[in-house]
A and B are shown apart, each in its own frame.
Chain A
Amino acid sequence: MSPSEAQALQALAIVFLTNTLVLTYLILRSKWHGLRLAGVVFLMYFGVYSFLSTIEALAFNTALEIQPNLLWFTLVAALMLTLVFAPLSVWWLGKRRPTTGPLPSDNIGAGLTKKEMAIKLLVLAALVYPALYISFGYFVAWQNPDVRLLYTGSTEILPFWTQAWNAFTNPAWFYPFQIGRAFVWIGLAWLVMRSTKAGWVETGFIVGLNFALLMNAQHLLPNPFMSESIRLSHFLETAGSNFIWGFVIVWVLHRPHHSLADLFNRDAHKRHRHRGHPVNVPV
């Protein structure tokens, strides 16, 4: 084995160890078990690690120039990996059978009306996700001249609003495409919210951690499409924005809110910290 092959194997081992650690946290904090939990693990792992990152790479493939065969290969290989990983991880971590001990009877996110859910989903997907995406893209990745050179062929940097407008209007499909991706992210976070036995803050942490690292640990791998400097910029950009995005989804959807102020209401948070059951506070 050549030194470069040994280095690649070492990086691959770190990527898989990271993925296993964050998924282990998700599995051990789940109140589900067996095939149902394996389904959540599979969707989360394949969805974030492969599907969402591959369609993002496709969107930028004019600059990256990755051969379509390679993209198909990574999708199929990730499908094989995650299909085997999901049931085995549930089994090996002792979640094949129901957990003994008391479990919360209610779910995070219970009690939201259809109207409130629709408004929240729309705001999250059409405003919050694009805002996080473009802010981290500009203020983290785009500050690196190597990144600008790769995607535009020039190191020139435009003002934030010009750059944001250009990114979301050229090509015209890019904004709707990112809204579509946002709905996939929200669906995955919702699955974790329904299956967890953790409180909403910890659930936000679990979702954020999985979103941040399952997608981005692979930036540790040397590849012929991005230099080390570009990979590091993308790692910081997407790990940061994905973590916040995961946490915000859980924060916004974990309980009904009667107003915008209610979203920041600490007392209400205390009342709902036990899975939506109000705590009796002596007056």
Chain B
Amino acid sequence: MKTLKVSLAILGLTLLSLVLWMAASGLLMGPMGVEVIQ
């Protein structure tokens, strides 16, 4: 049960990080004048 809880927490935190990073990119890159370089 504890292993399952920890695994779910790890999965949730990874997804949360991805969402937060993409949200930060969406919110900040334009106003901070960051150009997307390919």
Contact B9 A77 (CB under 8 A): no
Cα of A118 to Cα of B35 in the assembled complex, Å: 46
Cα of A51 to Cα of B9 in the assembled complex, Å: 26
Contact B25 A20 (CB under 8 A): no
Contact B16 A224 (CB under 8 A): no
Q: Which B residues lie within 8 Å of A28 (CB)?
A: 6
Q: Which A residues lie within 8 Å of B35 (CB)?
A: 67
Task: Determine if A203 is an interface residue (Cβ-Cβ < 8 Å).
Answer: no
Task: Using known A-B contacts A80-B24, A84-B20, A85-B20, determine if residue A70 contacts B34 with beta carbons closer than 8 Å.
Answer: yes
Contact A85 B13 (CB under 8 A): yes
Task: Using known A-B contacts A20-B10, A67-B35, A224-B37, determine if residue A76 contacts B20 with beta carbons closer than 8 Å.
Answer: no
Task: Determine if A107 is an interface residue (Cβ-Cβ < 8 Å).
Answer: no
Contact A19 B17 (CB under 8 A): yes
Task: Determine if A24 is an interface residue (Cβ-Cβ < 8 Å).
Answer: yes
Question: Which residues in chain B, 14-31, are within 8 Å of chain A measured between CB atoms?
Answer: 14, 16-18, 20-21, 24-25, 28-29
Closest CB in chain B relative to A223 CB, distance in Å: 8
Contact B20 A20 (CB under 8 A): no
Question: Which residues in chain A, 70-113, are within 8 Å of chain B measured between CB atoms?
Answer: 70, 72-73, 76-77, 80-81, 84-85, 88-89, 92-94
Q: Which B residues lie within 8 Å of A9 (CB)?
A: 18
Task: Determine if A21 is an interface residue (Cβ-Cβ < 8 Å).
Answer: yes
Contact B32 A92 (CB under 8 A): no
Contact A85 B10 (CB under 8 A): no
Question: Which residues in chain A, 196-231, are within 8 Å of chain B measured between CB atoms?
Answer: 224
A interface residues, how many (CB within 8 angstroms): 28
Cα of A23 to Cα of B8 in the assembled complex, Å: 15
Q: Which A residues lie within 8 Å of B10 (CB)?
A: 17, 20-21, 24
B5 nearest CB neighbor, chain A only: A94
Task: Determine if A69 is an interface residue (Cβ-Cβ < 8 Å).
Answer: yes
Per a CB cutoff under 8 Å, which of A73, A85, A92, A93 touches B34? A73
Contact A224 B28 (CB under 8 A): no
Contact A88 B34 (CB under 8 A): no
A28 nearest CB neighbor, chain B only: B6
Known interface pairs A77-B21, A85-B20, A224-B37; 9 further A-B residue pairs with C-beta atoms within 8 A, sorted by A's residue number: A12-B21, A13-B14, A67-B34, A69-B33, A69-B34, A80-B24, A81-B20, A84-B16, A85-B13
- 15 A-B pairs with C-beta separation under 8 A: A16-B18, A16-B21, A17-B14, A20-B10, A20-B17, A24-B9, A67-B35, A73-B28, A73-B32, A77-B28, A80-B24, A85-B13, A89-B13, A92-B9, A93-B6
**Which 9 pairs show the lowest CB-CB distances between chains A and B?**
A77-B24, A16-B17, A92-B9, A224-B37, A20-B13, A17-B14, A81-B20, A73-B34, A69-B33
